[in-house]
Amino acid sequence: MNRTILHLDLDAFFCSVEETRNPDLRGQPFAVGGQPDERGVVASCSYAARQFGVHSAMPMSRAVRLVPNLIIVSGRHRLYSEVSKQVMDKLHNLTPLVEQISIDEAFLDISNLRDENPERLARRLQADIKNELDLPCSIGIASNKLVAKIATEVGKKSAKKGSPPFGLTIVPAGEEAAFLAPLPANMLWGVGPKTEAKLSELGIHTIGDIARWPEADLAKRFGENGRELANHARGRDDRRIVTEHETKSISQETTFTRDVSDDKSLEKTLRELATEVARSLRKNDLAGKTVKLKIRWPDFTTLTRQTTLPQPTDSDEEIIKTALKLLHDVRKPRQPVRLIGVGVSGLGAPIRQLGLWDTGSEKSRKLQEVVDELQEKFGRDIIHRGELE
């Protein structure tokens, strides 16, 4: 049976959410992100700003040079997560076969909604999200995930400049290769800058050019990726919707606005990050065996160090202690740091089995549960772990 896959992408999501809170931003060149004098980058930008060449991941300092009157809005990620959940709830009301791939993007398998015309369903979904949440979105529909996502991108590119695309592109089953053929090669999954350059040297510039090239030669030149390119260029993709992803690690990191060389300040930040990681573990009923430290020096050199513990943990104290030891092992006193992060991997269910004399551990765990409840109810600042001077 032919599948019908719908791909939905919320247009300029962070900016669209900000516009719902401040309508004066509509039509204005603005960006969500950090300040230009604090190493900020563009997390999202309005379509009015995109006309001047501003794009996501661009340093904010460069964005301001392109658009001197650019309005900069600080990100509100908790708000974006809440709004994202509202959108995803709508998708789950249509079908349980939903694969969320980012905060603003998801695939749906609507094959079983046989009484629904796909175009009519997509337009109604766009209208519901716009009317109820005041958010624009673009949709692509095809027989597989690859073509559905590219269809969404095509819809976005064909939109009127300066305004949300609100695109809807449908590729009928059997027309996948014909739809892809005229598109540039770099729109195909697996074609990054290096692969694109090598393809260009061969005179391959479009997806159709890839489809016409002998598969054996692509495999010889690009290995297994070459075979995938050949299949994808012909519109083939048999991946199913994945409704759940196993959490492999939980981490927190921060980039300082200015390099930090003060030992106590750095250790305080590390404690806060480790505490947040531990809290996330407990909230998800997980514990992990491997604690990892990530650190970046001012010259952008980035190091990671990790330690595997004898038993899985979700304890603030144990994660903090391990992370601090890793920090002291890798960093010299007063050595400046640009970024620092803490992560825990090797996740599984917490081990609650106690030894005969482990009453102290049990008391510590119960105390931590009370602290978590207080912070959940009254905010993180209601109670803090004490620190010895």
Does the structure show a pLDDT above 70 at 386?
A: no
Active site residue 105: yes
Q: What is the pLDDT of residues 198-225, one digit of tens each?
A: 999 999 999 999 999 999 999 999 988 8
Q: Do the beta carbons of residue 137 and residue 126 sit within 8 Å?
A: yes
Q: What pTM does this model have?
A: 0.71
Find all residues with CB under 8 Å of 24, minimum gap 6, and list them.
Answer: none
Domain annotation for the chain: domains and CATH numbers: 1-172 (3.30.70.270), 178-233 (1.10.150.20), 249-382 (3.30.1490.100)
Does the structure show a pLDDT above 70 at 231?
A: yes
Q: What is the structure's pLDDT at 187?
A: 94
Q: Alpha-carbon dihedral of residues 330, 332, 338, 340, nearest 10 degrees?
A: 40
pLDDT band, residue 291 (cuts 50/70/90): very high
> What is d(CA 120, CA 333) in angstroms, rounded to the nearest whole number?
63
Q: Given 82, 105, 362, 376, which residue is catalytic?
A: 105
388 vs 376, higher pLDDT: 376
End-to-end, the C-alpha distance of the chain in Å comes to 68
Does the structure show a pLDDT above 90 at 135?
A: yes
Contacts 24+ apart (CB under 8 A), 54-59: 54/29
Q: What is the pLDDT of residues 84-97, one digit of tens each?
A: 999 999 999 999 99
β-partners of residue 109 are: 5
Q: What is the pLDDT of residues 353-383, one digit of tens each?
A: 444 444 444 455 555 555 555 555 555 555 5
Q: What is the structure's pLDDT at 256?
A: 85
> What is d(CA 291, CA 249) in angstroms, rounded to the nearest whole number?
10
Q: How many percent of the chain have pLDDT more than 70?
A: 88
Q: What is the structure's pLDDT at 1?
A: 57
> What is d(CA 166, CA 130) in angstroms, rounded to the nearest whole number?
10
- Give the burial class of 282: count Cβ atoms within 10 A of its Cβ; 0-12 exposed, 13-18 middle, 19 or more buried: middle
> What is d(CA 121, CA 132) in angstroms, rounded to the nearest whole number?
16
H-only helix segments in the chain: 13-21, 47-50, 60-66, 77-94, 118-133, 145-157, 176-180, 193-201, 207-212, 215-222, 224-233, 263-283, 316-330, 359-378
Does the structure show a pLDDT above 80 at 262?
A: yes
Question: Which of 134-148, 285-299, 370-384 is predicted most confidently?
Answer: 134-148
Q: What is the pLDDT of residues 178-203, one digit of tens each?
A: 999 999 999 998 898 889 999 999 99
Pairing of strands 137-142, 168-170: parallel
> What is d(CA 85, CA 103) in angstroms, rounded to the nearest whole number?
8
Mean pLDDT of the chain: 88
